[in-house]
Amino acid sequence: MSHTFLDILRRLVKTGNLKAILASGREVELGDGTGVRIVMRTIDEEAEKAILFDPALKFGEMYMDGRLVVEEGDIFDVIDMMKRNGLENAATVRNTVTTLLHLADQQLRSHLPINRNRQNVAHHYDLDARLFDLFLDQDWQYSCGYFDPPGISLDEAQLAKKRHIAAKLLLEPGQRVLEVGSGWGGMAMYLAESSGVDVTGITLSEEQLKISRERAGKRDLEDKVRFLMQDYRTMRAEPFDRIVSVGMFEHVGMANYDNFFRKMAELMAPQGVMVLHAIGQAEKPWATNPWIEKYIFPGGYMPSLAEVLPAIQKAHLMVKDIEILPMHYAHTLRAWRERFTARKEEAIRLYDERFFRMWEFYLAASETAFLHDKLMIFQIQLSREQDAVPYTRNYIPEREAALRAFEASRKPLEPVSI
């Protein structure tokens, strides 16, 4: 098996600087000697066989299990090198069939009338809160930052993201705002404090709900911000003036876009405005990477705009603005990965070494996906009426300037209580 595994590595690694140590003990230098020096070892031939048969799933699993070891460089360097070389170069009849089976399985499950939203959310977001404290910014923003200007810190980028979205919402004091997927409460509190609005945040995560309520209470915002355990699909409420959703749409599922936007239209006032911030892809992906689907975000899916816009049209909503943020998530993920790996021992104490390697792989693979796989963030601004939004975009920097003035005098954020 080592011989076949080596053949695939030779076909894949044309550029780069890789020393592969096979299960047989054979050591081979691959690539053209450029870039980061990487030494990678496979521990047993069964690991090599598994990767050959199902690389999309088993490469990550073998790394998690310690059966594929990176002795020099790190797992980001390995994945980055492979993507630079073009993973299609490693395709075989066998692993192509496996890939098609993964795709068919996800397509089938996405259309089954089974509600797994609650358990899918719990799988990721109800982990020990101390895990997220290892790598997130002070406000626990678990979505793409906005690096404007380039080179700012993670905390500054997450604040810039909230400011940018708040400007697009065209908030006015007294308006009622719905946040669909409210995380740990940072966005809702920012909107309420900066703009004098009343915010209802909904989530399916028990841990996020608990922490959000505690944070709002500490800032005396109970009369302006409330958080509910609520599925958007069954929500009943008077229409909201504004709706915002950040980093939640990826969990809606490819079969549910029509229902999602119909519900948003139902919950939006006639002169309402919505801003949707989500991960997208330049081309229709058909399925999520099977390793990510199994271990990180079950039920997740990152669509192309071509899959999203027809559902918006069917819901009789108007697209007022689309902004593409192409590399901001790569910068965000790099900051998260560097923070997480710097606190490796704490992560291991929370869980174990296998869990640490799983999350290291997740953050590294996600970062390389934004660097190489045509992923981006899209922000879509929606309304029901033509005149709900100004006819030029000049209002965005004007409102951002006013929000910066608010931030200069805002009460400092307290550390998240965990």
Q: Is 196 left (phi over 0), alpha (psi -120 to 50) or beta?
A: left
- Peptide bond just before 149 cis, omega within 30 deg: yes
> CA 120, CA 105: separation in Å to the nearest integer?
17
Please name the amino acid found at residue 155: D
Phi, psi of 135 (to 5 degrees): -135, -15
Entry pTM? 0.93
Nearest to 94 by CA among 202, 192, 7: 7
Query: In Å, how far are 89, 108, 275 from 104, measured between CA atoms?
Result: 22, 6, 32
Query: In Å, how far are 277, 289, 401 from 163, measured between CA atoms?
Result: 13, 32, 9
The answer for residues whose C-beta is within 8 angstroms of residue 175's C-beta and 6 or more apart is 195, 197, 198, 241, 242
- Residue 228, beta-bridge partner list: 202
User: Each residue's pLDDT tens digit in the chain (418 positions)?
Assistant: 567 888 889 989 999 999 999 999 999 999 999 999 999 999 999 999 999 888 889 999 999 999 999 999 999 999 999 999 987 655 554 445 455 455 555 555 655 555 556 677 777 777 899 999 999 999 999 999 999 999 999 999 999 999 999 999 999 999 999 999 999 999 999 999 999 999 999 999 999 999 999 999 999 999 999 999 999 999 999 999 999 999 999 999 888 999 999 999 999 999 999 999 999 999 887 667 889 999 998 888 999 999 999 999 999 999 999 999 999 999 999 999 999 999 999 999 999 999 999 999 999 999 999 999 999 999 999 999 999 999 999 999 999 999 999 999 999 998 887 7
Please name the amino acid found at residue 222: E
> CA 271, CA 297: separation in Å to the nearest integer?
35
* End-to-end CA gap in the chain: 48
Q: Using only C-alpha atoms, what is the Rg of the chain?
A: 23
> CA 173, CA 406: separation in Å to the nearest integer?
14
Which run of H or of E encompasses 94? helix 93-110
In this structure, the strands spanning 268-281 and 198-203 are unpaired
Please name the amino acid found at residue 332: T
In this structure, how many other beta carbons lie within 10 angstroms of the beta carbon of residue 306? 12
Question: Following DSSP, what letter does each residue of 272-288 receive, concatenated?
Answer: EEEEEEEEEESS---S-
Query: What value, to the nearest 5°, has the Cα angle with vertex 63 and ends 60 and 69?
Result: 145
E strands of 265-406, at which residues? 268-281, 318-325, 375-383
Domains of the chain with bracketed CATH: 2-91 (3.30.1050), 118-409 (3.40.50.150)
Q: In the structure encoding, which two tokens stand for residue 196, read together?
A: 């004098």
- Residue 170, beta-bridge partner list: none
In this structure, how many other beta carbons lie within 10 angstroms of the beta carbon of residue 139? 20
Query: In Å, how far are 125, 207, 210, 411 from 417, measured between CA atoms?
Result: 16, 12, 10, 17
> CA 285, CA 264: separation in Å to the nearest integer?
25
| Sign of CA pseudo-dihedral 250, 252, 253, 257 | negative
Question: Following DSSP, what letter does each residue of 241-281 receive, concatenated?
Answer: EEEEEES-GGGT-TT-HHHHHHHHHHHEEEEEEEEEEEEEE
